[in-house]
């Protein structure tokens, strides 16, 4: 079992930066691939970035490549999402999720545990 708590959301102007954190509890965290998802108003939930546990391979959605960076600190049971050059289209609730799988996981349905989400609002 893994419990996830996100933090770091807020209101930022276009071009600004935020760093989201996801604190995990549960002994299986280091064996989980971690993902950051987002759901904007009237939109479906989408995978933004993911990082595998086995070799820290990463995945990024095309819309955030070059602007967002996912990382993990297994010693602190924490995964981060550094978001730079934010745009109004990045406005969404951001969710941290964990998949009990060694390799990179991009399918939403394969994520087993979810946090409650943190709101990110980018003003124009």
Average pLDDT in the 104-120 region?
94
Q: Please say if the pLDDT value at position 97 is more than 90.
A: yes
Please determine, for residue 110, whether its predicted confidence score (pLDDT) is greater than 90.
yes
Tell me: pLDDT of 88 over 80.
Answer: yes
C-alpha closest to that of 112 among 124, 96, 98: 98
Of 29-33, 73-77, 83-87, 93-97, give the lowest mean pLDDT range: 29-33
So what's the pLDDT on residue 28? 67
Mean pLDDT in residue range 63-71: 97
Whether residue 29 is predicted with pLDDT greater than 80 in this model: the reply is no
Residue in the structure block whose two tokens are 């602007």 = 67
Q: Average pLDDT, stretch 21-43?
A: 88
Torsion of CA 58, 56, 102, 118, to 10 degrees: -60
Cα dihedral 99, 30, 55, 120, rounded to 10, equals 60
């Amino acid at each position: 079992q893994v419990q996830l708590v996100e933090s770091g959301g807020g209101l930022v102007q276009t071009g600004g930066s935020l760093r989201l954190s996801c604190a995990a509890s549960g002994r299986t965290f280091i064996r989980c691939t971690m993902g950051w998802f987002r759901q904007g108003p009237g939109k479906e939930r989408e995978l933004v970035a993911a990082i595998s546990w086995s070799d820290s391979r990463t995945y990024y959605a095309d819309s955030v490549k070059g602007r967002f960076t996912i990382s993990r600190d297994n010693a602190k049971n924490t995964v981060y999402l550094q978001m730079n050059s934010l745009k109004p289209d990045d406005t969404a609730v951001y969710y941290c999720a964990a998949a009990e799988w060694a390799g990179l996981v991009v399918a939403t349905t394969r994520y087993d545990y979810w946090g409650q989400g943190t709101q990110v609002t980018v003003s124009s």
